[in-house]
Amino acid sequence: MKKYLLIFLSAFCLACASPHVKRECDPAEKSKYSSHEEVGELLKAQSEGLSSENIYLIFSANYCPACRKLYQVLKKEGLSKKVIFIDIEKTWGFLFSREMNISSVPALAVITSNKTIQVHIGLKEVYFNLKKRMNSGKNIKLIQRNG
């Protein structure tokens, strides 16, 4: 039994060390989540009148199956770069979500050009609200991310 366990562990270690295996925390792959600096700059530009476009913030977490599904659907439809993803597992993201009165994920906060905030919670609510807004011809802030 020990022999088979040793063979299995050896094979597993070799497979994980292979350059062809994609690892979950590969540093070369940029996170889908924005940093607090990126979000801060965008909100500051809008508050100073430098941007008149709506801002779409999606609060999510990696542990949330609905959040992962939402991201995959938005990515498949080419919409994932039109929103800003905020990780509530980060301290700043959690505190920001509470400031926006968001208590569960996934959640969408729409900050309009006239400074009103609309919050939508739940997978279906977030998805359908985004689709409705994006198909209505309203301005969508396209986030170009480096990397």
Instruction: Give the pair of three-digit tokens for residue 125.
Output: 């609510």
User: Is residue 141 domain-resident?
Assistant: no
Residue linked to tokens 């925390």:
25
Structural domain of residue 119, as residue ranges? 31-135
Give domain status of residue 72, yes or no: yes
Q: Following DSSP, what letter does each residue of 62-76 receive, concatenated?
A: TT-HHHHHHHHHHHH
CB-based contacts of 22: which residues, under 8 Å, 6+ apart? none
Asked, for residue 102, whether it belongs to a domain, the answer is yes
Domain assignment present for residue 95? The answer is yes
Distance CA(136)–CA(109), nearest Å, equals 18
Assess if residue 117 is contained within a domain: yes
Number of domains comprising the chain: 1
Q: What is the pLDDT along the chain (147 residues), one digit of tens a residue?
A: 434 333 433 443 444 444 444 444 444 456 788 888 888 888 888 788 777 788 899 999 999 999 999 999 999 988 888 899 999 999 999 999 999 899 899 999 998 878 788 899 999 999 998 888 877 544 444 433 333
List the one residue out of 117, 36, 115 whose CA is nearest residue 107: 117
CATH number at residue 49: 3.40.30.10
Query: Has residue 21 been placed in a domain?
Result: no
| DSSP result, 81-108 | GGSEEEETTSHHHHHHHHHTT--SSSEE
Cis peptide before 106 (omega within 30 of 0): yes
Q: Is residue 10 part of a domain?
A: no
Res 125: pLDDT: 92
Let me know if residue 103 belongs to a domain: yes
In this prediction, residue 56 carries a pLDDT of: 92
